[in-house]
Structure 1
Amino acid sequence: MHTRMQIRNRVNFGKITDLNLLPNLIYVQKKSFDWFLQSEVKDPTKRLNQGLEAVFRESFPIESPNNDMVMEYGHYILGEPKRDPQECKDTDSSFAVPLKAVIRLIIKDTGEIREQVVYMGDLPVMTDHGTFIINGAERVVVSQLHRSPGIFFSYDQARDTFSARVIPYRGSWLEFEMDNKGILVAKIDRKKKFPATLLVKAMGMGTNEEVLRLFYGSSKMKIAGANPKDLKRLIGRRTIADIINMETGEVMLDAGSKINEDNISILREMKVKDVDVIEFPKGKDNPVLINCLEKDGVNDYEDAVKKFHTIMRPGEPSTIENAEAELKRLFFSPKTFDLGIVGRYKINSKFEFNNPKEFAKAEDRVLRKQDIIETVRYLVMLMSEAENYYPDDIDHLGNRRIRSVGELIANQLKLGFSRVERVIKERMTVQEPEQQTPQLLISIKPITAVINEFFGSSQLSQFMDQTNPLAELTHKRRLNALGPGGLSRDRAGFEVRDVHYSHYGRMCPIETPEGPNIGLILSMSSFARVNDYGFIETPYRLVKNGKVQKQVEYLTADKEEYHYMAQSNSTVDEKGEFTSKLISTRHRGDFPFRSPSEIQYMDLAPLQVVSVSTALIPFLEHDDANRALMGSNMQRQAVPLLTEEAPFVGTGMEARAAYDAGVCIVAKKDGVVSKVDATGVWIKEDQSKEIVHYPLIKFKKTNQGTCFNQKPNVSMLHTTTGGKVSKVSKERVELTAPNGEKETHELFHSEEVQYVAVVKEGQDLGIGAPVAGQIIKGEKYGEFGQILQKGTVLANGPSTDAGYLALGRNVLVAFMPWEGYNFEDAILISERIIKDDVFSSIHIEEFEIQARETKLGQEQITRDIPNLSDKAFRDLDESGVIRVGAEVKPGDILVGMVTPKGETDLTPEYKLLHSIFGEKAKEVRDSSLRMPNGFEGTVIDIKRYSRETGDELAAGVEEMVKVYVARKRKLLVGDKMAGRHGNKGVVARVMAQEDMPYMEDGTPVDIVLNPLGVPSRMNLGQIFETQLGFAAKKLGINFETPVFDGATEGDVHEFCKKAGLPENSKFQLYDGRTGEKFINQVFCGYIYMLKLAHLVDDKIHARSTGPYSLVTQQPLGGKAQFGGQRLGEMEVWALEAYGASHTLQELLTIKSDDMLGRARIYEAIVKGIHSIKPGIPESFNVLVQELRGLALDIIIKDSEGLEVDISDYEDEFSKNKKKIKFETIENV
Structure 2
Amino acid sequence: MAANRKAYFVGYMVHKLLSVALLRRPCDDRDHYGNKRIDLSGPLLTSLFRHLFRAMAKDMRGRLQKEMDNQATSLPINNQTMNADTISKGMKYAIATGNWQVNRGPVRPGVSQVLNRLTYASALSHLRRLNSPIGREGKLAKPRQLHNTHWGVLCPAETPEGQACGLTKNLALMTHVSIGLSDSARISELIEEHADNLEEIRTSQLKGATKVFVDGNWLGIARDANELLDLLVSLRRDLKISPETSIIRKIDDAELCIWTDPGRCCRPLFIVQPASENDEGPQRLAIRKSHVKKNDEELLVFNSLLEQGVIEYLDIEEEEVSLVAISHDRLADKENIYSREYTHCEIHPSLILGVCASIIPFPDHNQSPRNTYQSAMGKQAMGIYTTNFQQRMDTLAHVLYYPQKPLVTTKAMQHLHFRQLPSGQNAVVAIMTYTGYNQEDSVIMNQGAIDRGLFRSVFYRTYCEKEERIPNSQLTQKFERPGSDTKGMRDGTYEKLEEDGLVAPGTDIKGKTVLIGKTAPLADAGDSVNTAQAQYQKIDHSILSRSTETGYVDSVMVSTTPENTRFVKVRIRAVRIPQIGDKFSSRHGQKGTCGMAYRQEDMPWTVEGVVPDIIVNPHAIPSRMTIGQLIECLLGKVLCQTGDEGDSTPFTDVTVDNVAELLHNHGYQKHANEVLYNGHTGRRINAMIFIGPTYYQRLKHMVDDKIHARARGPVQILTRQPMEGRARDGGLRFGEMERDCMIAHGAAHFLKERLFEQSDRYRTHVCDHCGMIAVANLSENTFSCQVCGNGSHVSQIELPYACKLLFQELMSMAVAPRMFVS
TM-score normalised by structure 2 residue count: 0.73
Deviation at 1:513, TM superposition (A): 0.4
CA distance in 1: counterparts of 2:540 and 2:66, whole angstroms: 54
Distance in 2, matches of 1:379 and 1:907, equals 83
Q: Which residue is 2:93 aligned to?
A: 453
Query: For residues 387-406 of structure 1, what are the alpha-carbon distances to aligned partners after superposition, in whole Å with 9 as ceiling and x for unaligned?
Result: xx442111111101111111
Q: Which residue of the other structure, out of 834, 838, 845, is the alignment partner of 2:461?
A: 845
For residues 922 and 847 of structure 1, what CA distance do their matches in structure 2 show? 27
Kept after mapping to 1: 8 A contact 2:269/2:345: yes
Alignment RMSD, CA only? 3.3
- Correspondences of 1:566-605 after superposition (within 5 Å): 566-568=325-327, 570-572=329-331, 577-582=332-337, 595-605=338-348
The structural deviation recorded for 1:522 is 0.4
Find the counterpart in structure 1 of residue 448 from structure 2.
832
C-alpha separation in 2, matches of 1:564 and 1:513:
33
Quote the sequence identity (%): 27
Q: Check 1:561–1:995 CA distance in 2 against 1; reply closer, same or farther (3 A cut).
A: same
CA distance in 2, matches of 1:1067, 1:709: 31
Q: What's the CA shift for 1:1156?
A: 4.7
Q: Could you say which residue in structure 2 is the equivalent of 1:705? A: 397
Structure 1 portions without partners, runs of 5+: 1-202, 206-366, 583-594, 642-660, 665-695, 714-786, 792-798, 915-920, 1158-1172, 1200-1228
Quote the residue 1:559 is aligned against. Answer: 318
- Report the Cα distance in structure 1 between the residues aligned to 2:401 and 2:690, rounded to whole angstroms: 37
* Number of aligned positions between the proteins: 648
**Residue 567 (structure 2) aligns with:** 960
Distance in 2 (alpha carbons) for counterparts of 1:909 and 1:566: 89
Q: Please point out which of 1063, 1067, 1088 is paired with 2:670.
A: 1063
Give the conservation status (yes or no) of the 8 Å contact 2:429–2:613.
Answer: yes
Give the SS at the match of 1:971.
coil
* Match in the other structure for 1:382: 20
Distance 1:1105 1:1046, change over 3 A: farther
The 5-angstrom pairing of residues 872-1021 of structure 1 reads 875-900=496-521, 903=525, 905=527, 922-924=536-538, 927-945=541-559, 952-953=562-563, 959-1021=566-628
| Cα distance in 2, alignment partners of residues 627 and 443 from structure 1 | 55
Cα distance in 2 between the residues matched to 1:710 and 1:974: 21
Change in Cα spacing, 1:1073 to 1:1116, as seen in structure 2 (3 Å) is: same
1:1192 aligns with 2:815: yes
How far the C-alpha of 1:930 sits from its partner, in A, is 2.6
Bigger fraction of residues in strand = 1
Query: CA–CA distance in 1 between the matches of 2:662 and 2:811?
Result: 80
What SS does structure 2 have at the residue aligned with 1:842?
Answer: strand
2:605 is paired with a residue of what secondary structure? Answer: coil
Partner of 1:464: 115
Match of residue 540 from structure 1: 269
Deviation sequence 1:965-1007 (CA, Å, 0-9, x none): 1111111211111111111111111111110111112221110
- Give yes or no for contact 2:496–2:513 (8 Å, CA) kept in 1: no
- Give the conservation status (yes or no) of the 8 Å contact 2:461–2:571: yes
Structure 1 residue 1061, shift from structure 2 partner: 2.1
Structure 1 match to 2:371: 628
* Secondary structure, aligned partner of 1:965: strand
Instruction: Give the aligned partner of residue 1031 of structure 1.
Output: 638
1:751-774: CA deviation from partner (whole Å, max 9, x where unpaired): xxxxxxxxxxxxxxxxxxxxxxxx
The aligned residue for residue 1150 of structure 1 is 757
- C-alpha spacing 1:580/1:624, structure 2 compared with 1 (3 Å): farther
Q: Which deviates more, 979-988 or 936-945?
A: 936-945
Distance 1:879 1:612 in 2: 46
Deviation, 1:832, is 2.2
* Residue pair 2:481, 2:497 contacting (<8 A) in 1 also: yes
Matched, 1:501 2:148: yes
Looking at structure 1, the residues matched to 620 and 465 of structure 2 have their Cα atoms a distance apart, in angstroms, of 48
CA distance in 1, matches of 2:398, 2:642: 34
Equivalent position SS for 1:403: coil
Match of 1:513 in 2: 160
Please tell me whether the aligned partners of residues 700 and 709 of structure 1 are also in contact (alpha carbons under 8 angstroms): no
Does 1:1044 find its partner at 2:651? Answer: yes
What is the 5 A alignment of 1:219-230? none
Question: Which structure's CA Rg is the greater one?
Answer: 1
| Aligned equivalents of 2:734, 2:647: Cα separation in 1 | 52
Deviations 1:180-237 (CA, angstroms, capped at 9, x unpaired): xxxxxxxxxxxxxxxxxxxxxxx989xxxxxxxxxxxxxxxxxxxxxxxxxxxxxxxx
- Report the Cα offset of residue 888 of structure 1: 0.9
Match of residue 124 from structure 2: 473
**Shift, 1:1023, TM fit:** 0.3
Structure 2 unmatched ranges of 5 or more: 99-109, 181-260, 276-281, 288-309, 406-411, 765-795
Amino acid at match of 1:894: L
Q: Distance in 2 between matches of 1:1002 and 1:971?
A: 24
- Cα distance in 2, alignment partners of residues 464 and 1066 from structure 1: 44
How far is 1:376 from its partner? 0.3
User: Is 2:436 the counterpart of 1:814?
Assistant: no
Q: 1:831 to 1:904 in 2, by over 3 A?
A: same
Query: Does the CA-based 8 Å contact 1:865-1:896 persist in structure 2?
Result: no
Q: Deviations over 1:36-92 (max 9, x none)?
A: xxxxxxxxxxxxxxxxxxxxxxxxxxxxxxxxxxxxxxxxxxxxxxxxxxxxxxxxx
Distance 1:1193 1:508 in 2: 63
Check the 8 A contact 1:865/1:897 in 2, yes or no: no
Partner of 2:193: none
Distance 1:933 1:435, change over 3 A: same
Give 3-state SS (helix, strand or coil) of 1:636's partner: helix
What residue is the counterpart of 2:74 in the other structure? 434
Contact 2:395–2:462, Cα closer than 8 Å, also in 1: no
Q: CA deviation at 1:377?
A: 1.4
Contact 1:888 1:938 in 2 (8 A): yes
Task: Check if 1:1175 corresponds to 2:802.
Answer: no
2:8 aligned with 1:392: no
Worse-matched range after superposition: 464-473 or 824-833:
824-833
| Aligned-pair CA distance for 1:497 | 0.9
Shift of residue 824 of structure 1?
A: 1.1
Other structure's SS at 1:379 match: helix
Asked whether the 8 Å contact 2:607–2:675 carries over to 1, the reply is yes
- What are the equivalent positions in structure 2 for 1:185-224 lying under 5 Å apart? none
Instruction: Note if contact 2:393-2:569 (Cα within 8 Å) is conserved in structure 1.
Output: no
- Cα deviation for residue 927 of structure 1 reads 4.6
List per-residue Cα deviations over 1:428-477 (Å, max 9, x = no partner): 32233624237764423331233123212221101111100000000001
* CA distance 1:494–1:1000, change in 2 (3 Å): same
The 1:503/1:494 distance shift into structure 2, 3 A limit, reads: same
- Find out whether 1:1120 has 2:756 as its counterpart: no
Whether contact under 8 Å (2:437, 2:595) holds in the other structure is yes
In structure 1, the residue matched to 2:362 is 619
Q: Is the 8 A contact 1:698 1:708 kept in 2?
A: no
Distance change >3 Å, CA 1092–CA 872, structure 1 → 2: closer
Partner of 1:419: 55
Q: Distance in 2 between matches of 1:433 and 1:1045?
A: 81
CA distance in 1, matches of 2:20, 2:51: 39
Q: Secondary structure at the match of 2:382?
A: coil
Give 1:862's match in structure 2, choosing from 480, 487, 497.
Answer: 480
Deviations 1:573-610 (A, max 9, x none): xxxx433424xxxxxxxxxxxx3213322211011211
Query: Counterpart of 1:398 in 2: which secondary structure?
Result: helix
Partner residue, 2:718? 1111
Q: CA deviation at 1:896?
A: 3.4
Counterpart of 1:444? 84
Residues 952 and 1019 of structure 1, relative CA distance in 2, 3 Å threshold:
same
C-alpha displacement of 1:900:
4.9
- Following superposition, the deviation at residue 542 of structure 1 comes to 2.4
CA distance in 2, matches of 1:420, 1:710: 55
SS of the residue corresponding to residue 1176 of structure 1 reads strand
Shift of 1:540: 2.0
